[in-house]
Chain A
Amino acid sequence: MHIVFEKRNSVSRKAILLVPTVSFLVSLILTGILLIIFKTNPFTTYSSMFIGAFGSWTNFTETLVKAIPLMLTGVGVGLAFKLRFWNIGAEGQLVFGGVAATWVALFWSPFLPSWLVLPTALVMGSLAGGLWAGIPAVLKVGLKVDETLVSLMLNYVAILLAQGLYYGAWIDPKGMGFPGTKLFPKAAWLPRFSGRAHIGLFIALILGVIMWLVLNRTRWGFEIKMVGQNPRAARVMGVKIGKSIITAILISGAFSGLAGSFEVTAISHRLQQGLSLGYGYTAIIVAWMAQLNPIASLFVAVLMAGLLVGGDQVQMMMGLPSAMGIVLEGMILFPMLAGSLFTDYRLKFITKSRSREAAV
């Protein structure tokens, strides 16, 4: 008897919901095993993670603080993935966006009316993120350079560039050597509404919904789908593939750039070490788990942010490494990738005589 994968006759709606849920549960079990090796009770660990992330309003605002950049980067990365453009450079796009916003906040603010400082910083941050993503896009469209490598390597360029700035040229002269720029003027601060949670949350939510509308209700979104699913057919149908890819990736990067601008204008109020907690990488999991749906990404981002915050709690309360939350995140991706097979395929058991045919 053989077991083969057989293509389903229609996409399974059930699997679309089931796969991420089951994957999450499987990752809980896998991480649970790891926790037992660490001689820790997985149940108490998980419950204190949950309480840490969602147990009180204060805790929840911290989760929201981390959810905002994940929402934006998740939606941005998801757009790129829809085109089968493997932009894994959201981290770099976020950092570069943060650098650009810092530049505006520190050096342009004397020349701008104060009400214009913040919008300019956010716009410039988004543009910078788009530009950073545009490099692999143009290289891919023009010279067929692999976008995965370029976008990944540009992460290091952006991160080191930022480091160079806050350790060197832009270091706060009164900071006593602390690696960071001086504090932004108040005009460049993004208002907070509770704790550290800032109004970027609402912007991210609105942008996520807009992205869904654009993808599903506009001509441009229609073309993006065509190019992503079957570029050859899209070309026959007259779609300009290069143009579609470049515009979409610029927007993808702009989302991450905006996330970086929020981080500097709302959270740290300066460019300093620890600008990103790996949001750009977690974004990949967010986008995948949301099956590239921008609205689903918004919710998944909150869940993932909860893991990050909960991980910190576990470190403080149980003396476990805070990386536990990140381990859990990583653990989700494996069953996700394996499980996504089941949306298009199902298992079939067949006897020997028919196996040859099915395998071919």
Chain B
Amino acid sequence: MKNDQKEKTPILEMRGITKRFPGVLANDNVDLELFPGEVLALLGENGAGKSTLMNVLAGLYRADSGTIRMKGEEIEIYSPKDAMKHGIGMIHQNFKLVQTMTVAENVILGLENEDFILDLKKVGNKIKDISSHYNLKVDPNAVIWQMSVGEQQRVEILKLIYRGAEVLILDEPTAVLTPQESRELNQIIKQMTGEGKSAIFITHKMDEVMEFSDWVRVLQKGKLVSVVRTKDTSPRELSKMMVGREVLFRVEKKPAQPGETVLKLENVTALNEKGIKALQNISLNLRRGEILGIAGVAGNGQRELTEVITGLHKVTEGKILVEDKDMTNKDPLEFINEGVSHIPSDRVAMGIVGDMSVAHNLAMKEYRKAPLTEYGILHPKRILAMAKKMITFFQIATPTPYTNVKFLSGGNIQKTILAREIGACASLLVAAYPARGLDVGATESVRKEMISERDNGKGVLLVSEDLDELMSVSDRIAVMNEGRIMGIVPADKADIESLGLMMAGVPQEELT
């Protein structure tokens, strides 16, 4: 393996890349090598630092330290334009195409060496050549908004080839594709690498890593943890590398004392915005005094699951019962009135109103009822008194209760949401990634609150990507993959390896 590496010189090298965001070390001294004609898979959980590393390469971020070499020569990348000049192009998860323009217009958009008076015919012919050469099946005169997602992705690829990219970065390229489209994409990439171009792709799907790539680099919490040849590894080994680590954290908790069923899902199916099945035939049961953990790589239906049980997302089939009451496709207010609380995954976009005060944000569930409102009139003094109590109890660090909540730190924003949701919770607490991005202290207090809610006789549904958290906080763990539940295991009997395999799509029955 070492010999192999020495025979070729890498086309691209990144050395000691470190990138820090406020409060987070996104990349910690990461190295990367890419060889001509090869595909490198960048594997890791959400938040492992894959996208950051690639954004550094594509010129969207600037690393705090580290060097980048292209063909042995050290380069500086200040912008995506610089990256393109050196032959590096990136296809983002959300395509950067102008919807109302044609393919040809999009391809030359932003290019400086085109003539002032555009010769779109010439551009069109060149596009046709590239398209037929790589079998992209792209019509230069088609308008973007009329194209399918797969076609738009091929336009992005074409755009990069047209601009002379030698290194293509693809950020989760198959997340939006059908299996057939994925296979076609694989063919296109194979042909390009056959001609000496190289590709890096970000993914967390094992089977694609095995199918697409020559090399795999695994990131974990910003660090590079392993480098392997694809042919020398297996999905099982990869999933271990990706999630495998020692359990660092244990929470003191009493054994669960489950009471009556508070949430029941019967064969629930739901579609996402693109019309693809995000939840497929999900059935589960949650009792009072119990924490059900939901494990899975982000984007496998967890968000939709939390949204169908809080009224934010419609189901197409199946039934949702809260305390034996049929709540299928009821609106959010009815769930709130049943005592269902929700700590949303995107806490700034969905959990708070940034331009309103901490006190008002704390009142956003209770404001409808007495004593905060009587006959539709708010009582500012009562709101303030309640807010002050919550601020003290949950130790929210805010200059005053009147401060706009957007000026608080992430941890204190989360505490604000937590205080409000726990205060209003009467039956079920749905918590999506409640400790994501929080520091150790805040994480611990969030976890303790989950457990104390359980001990207070509420049902808790905890979605997390942190297996340590799930294993230490929850009582049972359900694993999701592509909108299905692969299996449900008691937390004290769960081991990281089998959870990892189920996350990668192996059903519980097939585990040995």
Contact = CB atoms under 8 A, between A and B. Distances in A.
A236 B404 contact: no
A220 B376 CA distance: 7
B60 interface: yes
B336 interface: yes
Contact of A233 (B350, B403, B404): B350
Interface residues of A, number: 25
A154 to B, nearest CB: 26
Nearest to B344: A236
B353 A233 contact: yes
Contacts of A235: 312, 332
Contacts of A234: 353
B62 interface: yes
Nearest to A353: B62
Contacts of A233: 349-353, 364
A178 B376 CA distance: 50
Nearest to B334: A238
Interface in A226-255: 226, 229-230, 232-240
Interface in A214-228: 217-222, 225-226
A11 interface: yes
A236 B354 CA distance: 14
Interface residues of B, number: 34
A238 B424 CA distance: 13
A10 interface: yes
Given A233-B352, A238-B336, A240-B333, A218 B377 contact: yes
Given A235-B332, A240-B331, A222 B360 contact: yes
Contacts of A239: 333
Given A218-B378, A222-B378, A236-B310, A10 B62 contact: no
B355 interface: yes
Nearest to B335: A238
A360 interface: yes
B354 A230 contact: yes
A229 B353 contact: yes
B349 A232 contact: yes
A55 B365 CA distance: 53
A219 B312 contact: no
A160 B483 CA distance: 56
B367 interface: yes
A237 B378 CA distance: 17
A222 B344 contact: no
Interface of B: 60-62, 78, 310, 312, 331-333, 335-336, 342, 344, 349-356, 360, 364-365, 367-368, 373, 376-378, 380, 403-404, 407
The 3 closest A-B pairs by CB, nearest first: A238-B333, A356-B62, A238-B336
Given A10-B403, A226-B356, 9 more contacts: A225-B360, A229-B355, A230-B349, A230-B354, A232-B349, A233-B352, A236-B332, A238-B368, A360-B60
